[in-house]
Structure 1
């Protein structure tokens, strides 16, 4: 009789447990140049921190937060700024190295 192998779906949210890891994860998404990658990464980080907590800290309701981070959406800059702030992350502009 064959043994059953149980596997779990990988979820990066399970590994985002400190600000340095979160910042690096978001930087990688930003460097991709794909806005959808950033939204997916923000969604993952928000799930890791707790959507309810992030919603409360940003002043957004959970439904609006989920919608803002949905692939294909174009959230307002102030919404992104609120989310980053609640995550303890700041935007930083640095010169591009050519």
Structure 2
């Protein structure tokens, strides 16, 4: 019996972000609902790695790479238009859904 070597959690998350659109949607929606700015920036950095890296992603989002690195830093605070451009370059978008009212 051959045992596969374990991989760091970070690698697994990045692989799922790259390969599983439903995982991406659930991951980001959970962060938007319950996370904070720092959590969201970590998720966006992971997604940038999953989607070909910052330089290529910056080109697709029509931003320069330095701006994108700053935006995704631990102290990053992207404007909505920049976040939307970044998500669009990854084939994603922000949406709003109603919360079910409790009786």
TM range (shorter): 0.7 to 0.9
Which structure 1 segments of 5+ residues have no match?
A: 1-5
* TM-score normalized with structure 1 length: 0.80
**May I ask how many residue pairs the two structures share in their alignment?**
93
Map 1:1-98 onto structure 2 (within 5 A): 8-11=7-10, 12-16=13-17, 17-50=19-52, 51-97=54-100
Q: Secondary structure at the match of 2:22?
A: helix
CA distance in 2, matches of 1:19, 1:25: 10
1:24 aligns to what SS in structure 2?
helix
CA offsets per residue over residues 16-68 of structure 1, 9 Å max, x none? 21322222221121122412111111111111011232111111122211110
Q: Structure 1: how far apart are the matches of 2:46 and 2:7?
A: 17
CA–CA distance in 1 between the matches of 2:84 and 2:65?
16
C-alpha RMSD of the superposition: 1.9
